[in-house]
Structure 1
Amino acid sequence: MGGRTTRQRKAVMRVLASCQDFVSAQELYARLVADAQSIGLTTVYRALRELEAAGGVDVVRDDAGGRLYRQRPAEGHRHYLICRCCGSSRPVDSEVVEQWADRIAAETGFAAVQHTVELTGLCAGCHTTTGEGEPPCRWEPAHQDNRGEPRSCAN
Structure 2
Amino acid sequence: MTRPEPAEAASRRPTRQRSALLAVLSDTDGFRSAQELHALLRARGDGVGLATVYRTLQALTDQGQVDVVRNADGEATYRRCSTAHHHHLMCRSCGRTVELADSPVERWAARVADQHGFADVQHQLEVFGTCAACAAAREPQR
| TM-score, L = length of structure 2 | 0.83
Which residue is equivalent to 1:96? 104
Residues 57, 2 of structure 1: alpha-carbon distance in 2 compared, 3 angstrom cutoff: farther
Aligned letter for 1:111?
A
Structure 1 match to 2:28: 19
- For structure 2, which runs of at least 5 residues remain unmatched after alignment? 1-7
Q: Give structure 1 regions of 4+ aligned residues with deviation exceeding 6 angstroms.
A: none
CA RMSD of aligned residues (A): 1.8
Give 1:30's aligned residue.
39
What's the CA shift for 1:20? 2.5
Alignment of 1:59-98 (within 5 A): 59-73=68-82, 75-98=83-106
2:14 is aligned with 1:5? yes
What secondary structure, in the 3-state scheme, does the structure 2 residue paired with 1:60 have? strand
Aligned to 2:61: 52
**What amino acid sits opposite 2:37 in the alignment?**
L
Distance 1:121 1:97, change over 3 A: same
Flag the structure with larger Rg. 2
2:137 alignment counterpart: 129
Count of equivalent residues = 131
Letter in 1 for 2:39: A
Q: In 2, are the aligned partners of 1:2 and 1:50 still within 8 Å (CA)?
A: no
Shift of 1:2: 4.8
> Which structure has more helix as a fraction of its residues?
2
Equivalent position of 1:144 in the other structure: none
Structure 1 unaligned spans of 5+:
133-155
Residues 30, 97 of structure 2: 8 Å contact kept: yes
Contact 1:105 1:111 in 2 (8 A): yes
Matched, 1:40 2:39: no
Structure 1, residues 69-127: CA drift from partner, whole Å, max 9, x if none? 12112x30221111111111111244211121222233323232221211111112211
Higher relative contact order (CA 8 A, sep 6+): 1
Post-superposition Cα deviations, 1:58-78, rounded to whole Å, max 9, x if no partner, equal 2211122110112112x3022
User: Partners in 2 of 1:2 and 1:88 — Cα distance?
Assistant: 35
TM-score of the superposed pair, with normalisation by structure 1: 0.76
Distance between the aligned counterparts of 1:90 and 1:15, measured in 2?
20
